[in-house]
Amino acid sequence: MMTDGWKTRITFEPGKRGGKPCIRGMRITVYDVLSYFAAGMTSEQILDDFPYLTADDIQACFAFAAERERNMRIDVA
């Protein structure tokens, strides 16, 4: 998946999950997926628990987070 390939999978809707980035218009957010990884789950475990997700959805979450990180600017005092 190309770096900006997340743009076809990550959606933003003001009335859904407070406008947070979601996967393909569903109610599962990028944060949800990344927090499962942070808690120690594997891709296989996440896909087993959420069969409507795909490996490309998970990859899109990583690509979105990487893009966001690349554009983040923190001023150090």
Identify the pLDDT of residue 76.
75
**Exposed (0-12), middle (13-18) or buried (19+): which is 67, by Cβ within 10 Å?**
middle
Domain that holds residue 29: 3-70
Tens digit of each residue's pLDDT (9 = 90 or more) over 1-39: 446 678 889 999 898 888 899 999 999 999 999 999 999
Catalogue the E-assigned strands of 2-71. Answer: 10-11, 22-23
Identify the pLDDT of residue 53.
97
Identify the pLDDT of residue 33.
97
Give the CATH number of the domain where residue 15 resides.
Answer: 1.10.10.10
Bridge partners of residue 29, in order along the sequence: 22
Identify the pLDDT of residue 55.
96
The token duo for 44 is 């296989």
Tell me whether residue 76 is in a domain.
Answer: no
Tell me whether residue 38 is in a domain.
Answer: yes
CA distances to 32, 47, 64, 73 from 61, rounded to whole Å, are 10, 13, 5, 20
Under the banding of pLDDT at 50, 70 and 90, the label for residue 57 is very high
Residue 68 has pLDDT above 60, yes or no: yes
